[in-house]
Structure 1
């Protein structure tokens, strides 16, 4: 594993010499190291929520009316069919709605006859589309929130050694991360990453914190225990 300058061993103190692992070393780390885990917190919580007007909605209400028609057949004395039309104006009060048009329905009583000139009466449904009068305009509100970031700690282990690289990182669903901070055993580090050194079984308390562009933060803590990872093999020989 390409060694970073920042490091902490189980016997070092905050006064030990430290510097940050370079980005170039991190980019090449996947070919030389084993990615262990990325621990992530819940985060992504809504904050500073408020109702914001995003548009306006027209409201319709009032007395709506329209003419409804029904076509039927009657026979004259010569038993010739004649087409007749029944019409009626339907009217109804429509409560507040966002629909400008509504369907009105009613029943009509029709007097007709048969080809044998026998009279009869029947009832049938009639309907028509009526325009609802405009009433007023109401604002359309939408709940808009900012969201906290999600903090994580990336842990990468060296192949064949106990060296372990840790890095604080995060994601933000409604913006971007502007700062990542790292603490190891309660000591704040100068950067957001560090290489840990020691014997197998040595443990470090690692805490990461991220801040997004809205100033919201999220933290995560975990225990990182050093283990000696087996070397990467190329056939029967270590690479």
Structure 2
């Protein structure tokens, strides 16, 4: 009977339609601060520079005149205004990665790499050939024989309750054990 060995391969990652889609988009009013007024300062050559600012997002500004004189100064007034902005939640995204381990069993470790731009992943789930795997966390170990294939589905859930699913077939391949000279390593 042949012993099955899977050589350590570089970690491979697969994804299709990686999620991260905007959902539940809505308008939201926010208060923003802006600065304005006449900026006055002296340039390095001593020339007085004055420039009017009506809508600056920063308190400190570079003021300049038509001759190219510049200086750095603050604006005298601060105001606020209410603006409407678009805010969205985002679905999570995920990819599979896997490694095949050296050894005398055909073992593949599969990881589900989930991300969520507006929160965090709170749940990882796996199904192998349609059977839900119990409490596997973000990784799953599959043991098999040469030529076996496994259909793996993964699902991540974010803290807003949105989910992303992906699926892929993984196959097991026989690999001769690595040799160091005449002996197995």
TM-score, scaled to structure 2: 0.60
CA distance in 2, matches of 1:218, 1:235: 48
Q: Does 1:227 align with 2:165?
A: no
Cα displacement string for residues 8-36 of structure 1 (whole angstroms, at most 9, x for unaligned residues): xxxxxxxxxxxxxxxxxxxxxxxx94344
Cα displacement string for residues 52-87 of structure 1 (whole angstroms, at most 9, x for unaligned residues): 1223589xxxxxxxxxxxxxxxxxxxxxxxxxxxxx
Cα displacement string for residues 159-217 of structure 1 (whole angstroms, at most 9, x for unaligned residues): 25522122333111111110000000000000233322222221100000000111110
Q: Which structure 1 segments of 5+ residues have no match?
A: 1-31, 59-97, 101-136
Match in the other structure for 1:43: 19
Q: CA RMSD in A?
A: 2.8
Cα displacement string for residues 69-128 of structure 1 (whole angstroms, at most 9, x for unaligned residues): xxxxxxxxxxxxxxxxxxxxxxxxxxxxx948xxxxxxxxxxxxxxxxxxxxxxxxxxxx
CA distance in 2, matches of 1:233, 1:172: 43
The 8 Å contact of residues 52 and 141 in structure 1, kept in 2 or not, is answered as: yes
TM-score, scaled to structure 1: 0.48
The 8 Å contact of residues 167 and 182 in structure 1, kept in 2 or not, is answered as: no
Q: Which structure 2 segments of 5+ residues have no match?
A: 1-6, 35-52, 56-79
Would you say how many aligned residue pairs link Structure 1 and Structure 2? 133
Cα displacement string for residues 124-162 of structure 1 (whole angstroms, at most 9, x for unaligned residues): xxxxxxxxxxxxx96322111111111222322012552
CA distance in 2, matches of 1:56, 1:219: 38
The 8 Å contact of residues 162 and 229 in structure 1, kept in 2 or not, is answered as: no
CA distance in 1, matches of 2:179, 2:22: 47
